Amino acid sequence: MDNFYCVKGNTWCIDTGATLMAVYRLNEHDIVMIDTGLAYGRPETKCIMHVLDGFQLNVKAIIATHGHLDHIGNNNILAGKYDCKIYMYGSEAYDCMSVESMRIQHTGVAYEEVKDALVKMTSRVDVFITPWEKKINILGADFEIVHTPGHSPSHISIITPDNVMMAGDALMSKDEIVKAKIPYACNFAVDFESKRKIAAMKCDKYIISHRGICDSESIADEVEANIEYLKSRAEIIHGYIEDGMCFDDIAAAVLTLMNIKVANRYYFFDLHGMVKPYVQYLEECGEIQAYYEKGYIRYKVL
C-alpha cells in the first residue's frame, strides 16, 4: 500500500495525498498516531481507515501537534472506533474541547451560521500534556515534546523513539509553502524562533507540513526557505499598505490584490485572522507604524 510507508525504524506515516500523519508502531498491530488530518468531505478519513483496516492496526493513542482542524479532524472518529486516548497540550487542548469554547473564539460570525463547522473543529482530550513534561510515555515508548509555538499558540513537535520529529505545521516543505498566498502563523517572530529551534534539534528525520520528509542535512535549508518565503509575503503585503489605511483596508487590499476568493463570511474572518499577524510583524520590523485617529487605528508606512 503506497500510502503507508516507513520513515525510520518503527516510525511510519500515512500519506493521504494531502497530508502526512506520523504513526509509531508499538508492535505489529498497536500504534500511536501523531495528528489525524482533516475530516471535512471525508477523503482523508477514508484513506486513514483504509490503511488502518488494511494493516490491521489498532490505534492506542493519538498525540496532536496543535488544535487546527486539519490536524485533529479525525480524533473523535478514531477515539470512537478504537477507544484510544488523545493527548494534547496547552491552550489548544482546552480551546478545541467543546463547541462552547470554539464559539467563544469565533466571534466574527453568528453561532447559527457556523455551529456545524465548529462541531467538526472539536476534539475529545483525555490527557493534558503539562508544560514541564519533556517526555510522555505511552505503553513503554517515550515521545519527546518540543515546544514550537508560533504557527499556533501551543504548537508542539513530537520526537518518536526513532529520533524522527513530527513537526506538524511548525514547518512547511519548500514545495508546499510556495503554494500558499498567505501562509499562516499566529506570530511570525515566535514562529521563526521555533523553526530555528527545530533546525538545531539534529533529528534523523523530520516529517513536515503537509507532505514533506527531510533529514538533518536538509533541515536548515527548509527552515531558512520557510522564513524567507514568509518574509517575502510580508513584503508583498507591505507594498499594498498606503498611509492612513486601517486594518480592514489592508485586509481588503490583500484579498482583492491577491485575488483570494471569499466563499462565505466565516472564511472572510478566517482570512482576516491570517492577515493580522503580517501587519503585526511589519510593525515589529519598523516598516509601518500604528496610530489612533477618530475611533480607528490607522497605519503609516515608514
CB of 296 to Zn ion, least distance (A): 31
CB of 73 to Zn ion, least distance (A): 11
Nearer to Zn ion, 60 or 71 (CB): 71
Q: Residue ranges of the alpha helices (H) in 184-297?
A: 188-199, 219-240, 247-257, 265-284
Residue of 30, 95, 144, 169 interacting with Zn ion (CB under 5 A): 169
Q: How many residues bind Zn ion (CB under 5 A)?
A: 2
User: Of the ranges 62-70, 124-132, 197-205, 213-221, which one interacts with Zn ion (CB under 5 A)?
Assistant: 62-70
Residue 51, CA atoms < 13 Å, CB-side half-sphere: 25
Q: Cell 471535512, residue? A: 40
Nearer to Zn ion, 68 or 124 (CB): 68
Which string of DSSP letters, residue by residue, matches 132-184? T-SEEEETTEEEEEEE-TTSSTT-EEEE-TTSEEE-GGGSB-HHHHTT-SS--
CB of 301 to Zn ion, least distance (A): 30
Closest CA to 205 of 24, 64, 30: 24
| Residue 205 in contact with Zn ion, rule: CB under 5 A | no
Sorted by sequence, the CB contacts under 8 Å of residue 114 that are 6+ apart come out as 106, 266
Nearer to Zn ion, 25 or 151 (CB): 151
CB of 170 to Zn ion, least distance (A): 9
| Residue 195 in contact with Zn ion, rule: CB under 5 A | no
Nearer to Zn ion, 172 or 234 (CB): 172
User: Of the ranges 18-26, 46-54, 66-74, 252-260, which one interacts with Zn ion (CB under 5 A)?
Assistant: 66-74
Closest CA to 8 of 21, 25, 20: 25
Beta strand extents in 46-129 (DSSP E only)? 58-63, 85-89, 127-129
CB of 82 to Zn ion, least distance (A): 24
Sorted by sequence, the CB contacts under 8 Å of residue 155 that are 6+ apart come out as 65, 66, 92, 147, 148, 149, 168, 169, 170, 194
Q: Which residues lie across from 63 on neighbouring strands?
A: 34, 87
CB of 2 to Zn ion, least distance (A): 25
Cβ atoms of 273 and 259 closer than 8 Å = no
CB of 29 to Zn ion, least distance (A): 30
CA distance 150 to 70: 17
Nearer to Zn ion, 11 or 148 (CB): 148
| Residue 68 in contact with Zn ion, rule: CB under 5 A | yes
Nearer to Zn ion, 57 or 93 (CB): 93
Nearer to Zn ion, 82 or 188 (CB): 188
The residue ranges that bind Zn ion (CB under 5 A) are 68, 169
